[in-house]
Amino acid sequence: MKTPPGLQALIDDGVIDEVMRPLKSGKEAAVYVVRAGDDVRCAKVYKDMAQRSFQQRVQYQEGRKVRGSREARAIGKASKYGRRQQETAWKNTEVDALYQLRDAGVRVPEPYGYYHGVLVMELVTDADGHSAPRLGEVELAPEQARGFHRFLVRHVVKMLCVGLIHGDLSEYNVLVAPDGPVIIDFPQVVSAAGNNAARAMLLRDVNNITASLGRWAPELLDTWYAEEMWALFEAGALHPDSELTGEFVADDRVADVDGVRHAINNAREEALIRQQGREAAAEAD
C-alpha cells in the first residue's frame, strides 16, 4: 500500500521496513500494520487536534504533569506555543502510560518506541495470527466471562496502584488474545490522585466491563468491585494482590456538619488562647 505521510519518516530512519495495511482509524489516531525486519507490529499515528473528533475535556487533563514550568504556563495561557505543547503532551500521555503500566504488570501492548509522533507497539493477534478481536465482538461461555472479568478487575487494580485510571475503558478497547484480554487506548488516562473526577471515571470503567461481560454471566451485574477498590485506594490499603469480594456497603451516615464546625471553632479558639498566652509571657520577660 502507499505509505501514509506520518510513517514515511520511520521508513527513512529504518525503524520500520514496510506498511502492510491499515488496521483501524479512530477518533484519536489511525493504526497501521507494519513490518520491522521479521517482526510484524503496529504503528499508531496520532491525528492533529484539528482532525480529531474527540475533544480534549478539562476533566481528562486535570492532574496531569507537564514536564516544564514554561510549558505549564504556556498551556495555561492557551498561547500558540502552549497549544503546541498541549498537543505534544497529549500524544506523549499514552506512550508514558504504556511503559509505566507494562512495568507494573498490566496486560497492555508491548511498546517498542515513539518516533516522530508515532507509537510503534505490539500487534495483538488471535491464535491464527490475525488481528485480535475486540471484547464486544466475541461470544463467551459463562465461565469465560467470569474469568475475563476477574482478569480485567485485577488489572484495573494494578493500574490504580500506580495512580492511573483508564478513563474510557469498555468492550471496544479490550482485545481478546489467546492468553487473555489486552487493554488498549490510553490517551485519555487520568491521574487517580490528582483528578477530581477520578472516582467517577473508575466506576464507569469497571461498570462498562461488568455490563458487557454480564451478558454472559448475569451474576456479575450484582458486584461492586469499583466501589470496593476505590474505598481501599482512598484508605491507602489497596495493593496489586488485594483480595476483592465484589461486595460493598456504602456509608449512608449523615455527616454531622455542625459538630465538625463546632470542633474546628473550638480548636481555633484554643490555639488563639495559647498564642495570646505565649505573647503575654514574652512581654513579661
d(CA 203, CA 184): 18
The reply to whether 99 and 157 lie within a common domain is no
The reply to whether 109 and 223 lie within a common domain is no
**What's the grid cell of residue 18?**
514496510
What's the domain range around 255? 142-283
Decide if 269 is inside a domain.
Answer: yes
The reply to whether 269 and 156 lie within a common domain is yes
pLDDT, tens digit (0-9, with 9 covering 90-100), for 56-96: 454 445 454 545 555 444 445 445 554 555 566 667 888 99
Instruction: Using the predicted structure, report yes or no on whether residue 37 has a pLDDT greater than 80.
Output: yes
Residue with cell 504533569: 65
Q: Which of 185, 241, 251, 252 is an active site residue?
A: 185
CATH code, domain with 13: 3.30.200.20
The reply to whether 98 and 147 lie within a common domain is no
Decide if 86 is inside a domain.
Answer: no
**What's the grid cell of residue 263?**
470542633
d(CA 190, CA 59): 8
Decide if 65 is inside a domain.
Answer: no
Lowest mean pLDDT among 97-106, 121-130, 144-153, 248-257: 248-257
Please say if 96 is a catalytic residue: no
Residue 251's pLDDT is: 64
Mean pLDDT of the 99-104 span: 96
The reply to whether 248 and 147 lie within a common domain is yes
The reply to whether 9 and 113 lie within a common domain is yes
Q: What percent of the chain has pLDDT over 90?
A: 64
3-state secondary structure (DSSP) of residue 99:
helix
**What's the grid cell of residue 125?**
493477534
Decide if 207 is inside a domain.
Answer: yes
Please tell me which residue, 70 or 122, carries the higher pLDDT value: 122
Residue with cell 470542633: 263
The reply to whether 148 and 228 lie within a common domain is yes
Decide if 200 is inside a domain.
Answer: yes
**What's the grid cell of residue 182?**
489486552
Instruction: Using the predicted structure, report yes or no on whether residue 171 has a pLDDT greater than 70.
Output: yes
Contact 185/111 with Cβ under 8 angstroms?
Answer: no
Lowest mean pLDDT among 29-33, 72-76, 132-136: 72-76
Q: Is 141 left (phi over 0), alpha (psi -120 to 50) or beta?
A: beta
Decide if 127 is inside a domain.
Answer: no
Please say if 258 is a catalytic residue: no
The reply to whether 115 and 240 lie within a common domain is no
Mean pLDDT of the 178-197 span: 92
Local confidence band at 54 (pLDDT 50, 70, 90 cut-offs) = very low
pLDDT, tens digit (0-9, with 9 covering 90-100), for 228-271: 999 999 999 999 999 999 998 876 555 555 655 555 555 556 55
Contact 80/5 with Cβ under 8 angstroms?
Answer: no
Pinpoint the alpha helices (H) of 120-224.
142-161, 198-213
Local confidence band at 273 (pLDDT 50, 70, 90 cut-offs) = low
Please tell me which residue, 220 or 277, carries the higher pLDDT value: 220
Q: What residue ranges in the chain does DSSP mark as E strands?
A: 18-25, 29-36, 39-46, 111-115, 118-122, 164-165, 174-177, 180-183, 190-191
Decide if 257 is inside a domain.
Answer: yes
Mean pLDDT of the 100-128 span: 95
Q: What is the mean pLDDT of the chain?
A: 83
Count of structural domains within the chain: 2
Q: Which of 13, 48, 168, 256 is an active site residue?
A: 168
Please tell me which residue, 52 or 47, carries the higher pLDDT value: 47
The reply to whether 217 and 274 lie within a common domain is yes
